[in-house]
Structure 1
Amino acid sequence: MMVRACNRREVNIYLPKYSASFLLLAVFVLIFILHNMDFQKHEANSTIILPSFSSDPYMHHGFCTFQPLSSKDALEEDLILDSIAWPETPALTSLEQTSDPAHSSFTILPRRGGGQWHVGDRLEVLIRMYDFQGQPKKSGGDFLVTRLHDLKLGAGVAGKVVDHLNGCYSAVFSLLWEGSAQVEVTLVHPSEAVTVLRRLTSEQPDRIYFQSVFHSGSVSETTTCNVCLRPTQQPLCNYTDRHTGEPWFCYKPKKLSCDARITHSKGGFKENLKAEEKKLFQSDVNMKVSIQASGSASVVVLPKKTDVKNSDVKCEHCGYYYQGAWRALGGTTVHQFNTSSDIRQCLKHKMVHLYGDSTIRQWFEHLITVLPELKKFNLHTLKQVGPFIALDYANNTLVTYRCHGPPIRFVDVPTSSLRYIANELDGLPGGSNTVVVLGIWSHFSTFPIEVYIRRLQSIRRAVVQLLDRAPGTLVIIRTANLKALTLYEALTNSDWYSLQRDKVLRAVFKGLNVHLVDAWEMGLAHDLPHSLHPQHPIIENMIDVILSYICPEKGS
């Protein structure tokens, strides 16, 4: 393979459970049910709107309409969009001229200043991308992820990728353990596939569509619903939330009123992809495929030099694995809660409220599994949807879960159960015994990024108000994570979409008194396969991070 020089100018970085107890339980459940029945305050505008085309400057992406923002929020939106801007990517001309991981390679660059590698050094790798014809790529925009690991040590850390916009990329790693450290470079998507993903968002933000059942007496009708609905002659029911301004629309049923809507469901998926474009999303060919090294793929790391100062790596939320345990590189020290007794003691006298998607529900399920005393009360709600409530009376611990509002890709959600996180937070008193855990990202992948930015801005306002009235409240936010990709998953929930939303989430909540669980790096740095719902060892480490925030060690 021809080796070429790469101009390494830095352009774009992407990051990668008695009788008395039953009585109290009943009281808690009653309170929970009454709270969940109180939805009049934030009821939707179930009004009819006739189809029209708007000239409003906040009309974006064709038929997606956004309400005007305050000047402050609009400026923030612009700054966020600039900060997550991806390099320009080429259109597909022929598959042979697209990025090919089999022809591409990476090289470990010599240590700056020469000599051997030590803990505290930074390892740099140069990645050269070639096409299927073996010709060097001359533009950037490929989506690469990297990690440094040692399987025997149970060690791993994610790398940071820099795009030089000329077919060359750098990956930078912190050397954090002694012994072997092996580099792994993965092409998630070639740049041409990113072009397709961007076009789909612009032209087909409704490719995942939703449905609602309307029912009154003996009459039932089903219509299509979405954030973005294509203009037709059919009137729309406007369910935009009065408090948050979150938009949601359904085509009005022919016989029934907008107030007759009773359920929400994911409807389906419209692919609308050309045959040639599908070839850009092939497992084992050009999607989630490893790139091999030209030369050695590993280095031997010696102990840290005693005469070197200020080489410790510090960052607010990142970390690495060592002996299978996640270690933070800044902020709260993560310690292991290895027994149910440890977890039970930490959650004593705590109310833990979890809001979000199925990746947050996974944490609720984990807690009720590892804590037999934490009894889940049967509210006769759907397993996927909830809401759920669990109580450990002896230790005065309450844990709840509720899914976030539309767009949520669950099936047959009663409309009375559809709640926006911001509205739920407004109903919380908060306090030093209250823990709020949020996770909202996966169900926004197919929509314009503005939809996600505005949802997070709405949640942030509610978080700020919660912390103002109850400063002792602990707020923890889960980031996005990588997942296994098929063609369908790539088009609807690609890691590239998740990366963009991960960046937005970090930007929106930066500087607030909230804590992150860095699911992105925790999934990327681990040896287990990427999964939307990470496997048990990763979940255990995530729970350790959460519990370390709730019950920090003295001095950490």
Structure 2
Amino acid sequence: FFPPQHLDDDTVSGSNWIKENNDQPSLSQTTKITRKPYCGYEQQTLSKREQVEQESLLAAIQWPKPPDGKIAFVQSTDPVHSDFAIVRPSRFFKVGDQLEVLVRMKDFQGKPKQYGGDYLQARIHSPLLKAGATGRIVDCHNGLYKVFFTLLWPGEVKVSVTLVHPSEAIQVLLRLREERPDRVYFKSSFKSGRYSETTECNVCLPGDLPVCNFTDLYTGEPWFCYKPRKLSCASRISHAKGGYQKGLLTQEESLFFQSDVNIKRPILSRGPDSVIVKPRPFTDSSSMDRAEDPTVSPSGYFYEDHWRPRTHWIHHFNKSDDISKCLQGKVIHLFGDSTIRQWFEYLTAVVPDLVEFNLGSPKNVGPFMSVDLKHNILLKFRCHGPPIRFTTVFSSELRYIANELNGIVGGRNTVIAITIWSHFSTFPVEVYIRRLRNIRRSIIQLLDRSPKTLIIIRTANVQELGPEVSLFNSDWYSLQLDSVMRKMFSGIAVHFVDAWEMSLAHYLPHNLHPKEVIVRNQIDAFLSYVCPLQT
């Protein structure tokens, strides 16, 4: 985004959000799309390797488009007219088998859809067993979708398929992501003596008013605020969420975002919606679900409300003593948004000797710290740098994860957990790729100097969606970012807690901040990396 000579400027001129620039090289032929550069500022200067990686990441998350031209609401996907069928539902199923489901999409006139691009979520579940797992969805690009499930437990197993957004709504979300990255705005307060001013801030700002350049000197992460009329840029004291822009959609577009019509609506079956699964004969079922491939889908499943990963053994830390023993002598750094702050809150609440030390930080914002003197445990939480939609964060406490990692010595008693996703959903994906590239570089350097440091990434999770939330924080945005994150962090020595599948496989309603039973399972997965079971 920014050439080095801009980094020290106190004030630079603002520019337009989107600016056509025909000199920009389009992405490689594989992506078959030309993109407008984000903002009129000079784009990121990427090395050849970074450019290739970015193009391949953007190509990997490309979403199928409906045919050109305006599509009327009645021709958009209707979950009520759509249906699914289990392929050969009466055949003999045993644990470990694949179950295939065919989904047929239709519009509001009952006509079959001829193109793909709808966003679906699917799960199998057995309510009495409190068991659940997610499915793998394949878009056939003709109005048909195949869903593949691995049957992981015996008993009656029910199939559920949900339309999260019709393909026509996804095109609106794509447009907003590229054209309206200002739809969540931020503000900063500037103060000198008794005089204060508040101005708007963002990754970049529209218009030609003078701006304060708060681009980070070390990571090059861009951040700008409009310059106060009387005060200097150096007088900034705080950062906060400003608000959400209204009036983003045309009347026709708003029809694609209706709670009881086409946002997270069930698609019903046109036949049996469950199968009977027999136990696998003559095998130790506990060894069956240890898959060798870490990219296996699904990554795990719930059984009796306990998460069972398929790639490694998990230990359920049911007693607070077990958690204390596991974390004894450790320093645990939690970096990210409110979904990892839940880990801080859970551990502080559950472990009696872990007592929060009052740092005088704003509620829900941090930084926070808990100390267990008896077991020599230090637990810390700090939010990631802007963009972050928190209420007031002191400017002095605005830190980028990459810079924080550079200040950690590391070693066998250092545990680091990171999550970063939700606050990036309103920006073009390149903004997120840049942030992850900086974090990844710092992780690799930390592991080079202290290979025994344990680093865990908490993925994104699904959440409750309505017409407004969808435009800012849709699961579809989160899915796109999560896919990028998994690709960028694969192949380096980090571990994943799959909060995405945990939130999707569980029977509880989707929630940006999952309920305690799900957080407990996330913590079990996290602690199982810290203190692996001896097998």
The answer as to whether partners of 2:151 and 2:277 remain within 8 angstroms in 1 is yes
Q: Of residues 203, 207, 225 in structure 2, which corresponds to 1:250?
A: 225
Calculate percent identity across the aligned residue pairs.
53
1:428-443 maps to which residues of 2 (within 5 A)? 428-443=408-423
Indicate if the aligned counterparts of 1:243 and 1:423 stay in contact, CA closer than 8 A: yes
1:7-18 alignment runs, 5 A limit? none
Do the aligned partners of 1:92 and 1:277 also contact (CA within 8 Å) in 2?
Answer: no
* 1:179 alignment counterpart: 155
Matched, 1:196 2:172: yes
For residue 31 of structure 2, what is the aligned residue in structure 1? none
Aligned to 2:128: 152
Shift of 1:394: 0.6
- For the 8 Å contact 1:46–1:258, the answer to whether it is kept is no
C-alpha offsets along residues 47-98 of structure 1, whole Å, 9 cap, x if unaligned?
1112457857397135465321122111111111111111113565321111
- Report if aligned partners of 1:62, 1:203 keep a CA contact under 8 Å in 2: no
Q: Provide the rounded CA distance (Å) in 1 between the counterparts of 2:306 and 2:528.
A: 13
Distance 2:123 2:140 in 1: 19
Aligned partner of 1:498 in structure 2 is 478
Residue in 2 that maps onto 1:49: 12
Matched-pair contact (CA < 8 Å) for 2:456–2:526: yes
2:519 matched to 1:543? no
User: For the Cα contact (< 8 Å) 2:76–2:168, is it kept in 1?
Assistant: yes
Mapped contact 2:71–2:168 kept (Cα < 8 A): no
User: 1:396-449 CA distances to partner (integer Å, 9 max, x unpaired)?
Assistant: 000000000000001111110000000000000000000000000000000000
Could you tell which deviates more after superposition, 304-313 or 216-225? 304-313
Q: What are the superposed Cα offsets for residues 103-135 of structure 1, whole Å, 9 maximum, x if unpaired?
A: 000000027xx9401111100000000011101
Is 1:74 paired with 2:51?
yes
Give the Cα–Cα distance (whole angstroms) in 1 for the partners of residues 358 and 427 of structure 2. 34
Q: 2:465 matched to which residue of 1?
A: 485
For 2:136 and 2:41, the matched residues in 1 are separated by: 34
Tell me the SS of whatever aligns to 1:101: coil
Q: Secondary structure at the match of 2:436?
A: helix
Letter in 2 for 1:365: E
**In structure 2, which of residues 297, 302, 309 is the aligned counterpart of residue 321 of structure 1?**
302
CA distance in 1, matches of 2:336, 2:378: 17
For 2:84, the equivalent position in structure 1 comes to 106
Cα deviation, 1:226-245, whole Å, max 9, x if unaligned, reads 01211x23111111101111
CA contact (8 A) 1:118 1:302 kept: yes
Deviation for aligned residue 1:308: 13
Give the corresponding residue for 1:368: 348
Equivalent residue letter for 1:246 = E
Give 1:195 deviation, angstroms. 0.6
State yes or no: 1:445 paired with 2:425: yes
Distance (Å, rounded) in 2 between the aligned partners of 1:494 and 1:65: 29
**C-alpha distance 392-369 of structure 1, shift in aligned 2 (>3 A):** same
2:61 equivalent to 1:84: yes
CA offset at residue 218 of structure 1? 3.1
| Partner deviation per Cα, 1:333-390 (whole Å, 9 max, x = no partner) | 1110001111111111111000000001011000000012101011111012100111
Change (3 A) 1:313 1:371: closer
TM-score by length of 2: 0.92
2:269 to 262, 287, 293: 293
Larger CA deviation: 49-58 vs 89-98? 49-58
Indicate the SS of the match to 1:86: coil
- Amino acid of the residue matched to residue 49 of structure 1? V
* Aligned AA (1:76): E
SS at match of 2:471: helix
| Structure-1 separation of matches of 2:406 and 2:294 | 28
Answer whether contact 1:265 1:413 (CA < 8 A) is retained: yes
Q: Does 1:225 align with 2:201?
A: yes
The separation in 2 between residues aligned to 1:212 and 1:434, in whole angstroms, is: 34
Q: Which residue identity does 1:333 align to in structure 2?
A: W
Is the contact between residue 226 and residue 249 of structure 1 (CA under 8 Å) also seen in structure 2? yes
Unmatched 5+ residue regions in structure 1? 1-43
Structure 1 window deviating more from structure 2 (282-291 vs 52-61): it is: 52-61
Q: Does 1:236 align with 2:217?
A: no
Find the aligned partners of 2:251 and 2:107 in 1 and give their Cα distance.
Answer: 20
Matched, 1:165 2:165: no
Q: AA paired with 1:192?
A: E
Mapping for residues 116-131 of structure 1, pairs under 5 Å:
116-131=92-107
Contact 1:188-1:288 within 8 A present in 2 as well: yes
Equivalent position SS for 1:138: coil
For the 8 Å contact 1:92–1:192, the answer to whether it is kept is: no
Q: Do the aligned partners of 2:15 and 2:40 also contact (CA within 8 Å) in 1?
A: no
Q: Is the 8 A contact 1:64 1:229 kept in 2?
A: no
Letter in 2 for 1:88: K
Query: Once superposed, what is the RMSD of the aligned Cα atoms?
Result: 2.0
Partner of 1:152: helix, strand, or coil?
helix
CA distance in 2, matches of 1:324, 1:437: 24
Structure 2 unpaired stretches of 5+:
1-6, 26-35
**Which one-letter code corresponds to 1:546 in the other structure?**
F
Structure 2 CA distance for aligned equivalents of residues 382 and 308 of structure 1:
51
Give the match's secondary structure for 1:267. Answer: strand
Q: Work out the CA distance in 1 between the residues paired with 2:307 and 2:13.
A: 54
Once the two structures are TM-superposed, the CA of residue 275 in structure 1 deviates from its matched residue by 2.2
Contact 2:39 2:204 survives alignment (8 Å): no
Query: CA shift at 1:282, angstroms?
Result: 1.2
Aligned to 2:29: none
Say how many residue pairs are matched: 508
Change (3 A) 1:103 1:143: same
Kept in 1, the 8 Å contact 2:75–2:108? The answer is yes
Q: Which residue does 1:3 correspond to in 2?
A: none
Q: Select which of 454, 458, 461 maps to 1:474.
A: 454
1:132 aligns to what?
108
Whether the 8 Å contact between 2:15 and 2:39 is mirrored in structure 1 is no
The one-letter amino acid paired with 1:80 is: L
Secondary structure of 2:323 counterpart: helix
Range with greater deviation from structure 2 (257-266 or 491-500): 257-266
Residue deviations 1:431-485, cap 9 Å, x none? Answer: 0000000000000000000000110010000000010000000000011110001
Cα pair 1:121 1:311 within 8 Å, conserved: no
Query: Residues 313, 291 of structure 1: CA spacing in aligned structure 2 closer, same or farther, 3 A cutoff?
Result: farther
Distance 1:257 1:321, change over 3 A: same
Q: Which runs of 4+ in 1 moved over 6 A?
A: 307-311
Aligned equivalents of 1:511, 1:64: Cα separation in 2: 33
- 1:501 Cα shift? 0.5
TM-score between the two structures when normalised by the length of structure 1: 0.88
Question: Cα offset for 1:312?
Answer: 5.6
Amino acid of the structure 1 residue aligned with 2:342: Q
How far apart, CA to CA, are the structure 2 residues paired with 1:64 and 1:194? Answer: 27
Give the 3 Å change call, closer, same or farther, for CA 62–392 of structure 1 in structure 2: closer
> What is the distance in 2 between the residues matched to 1:140 and 1:530?
25
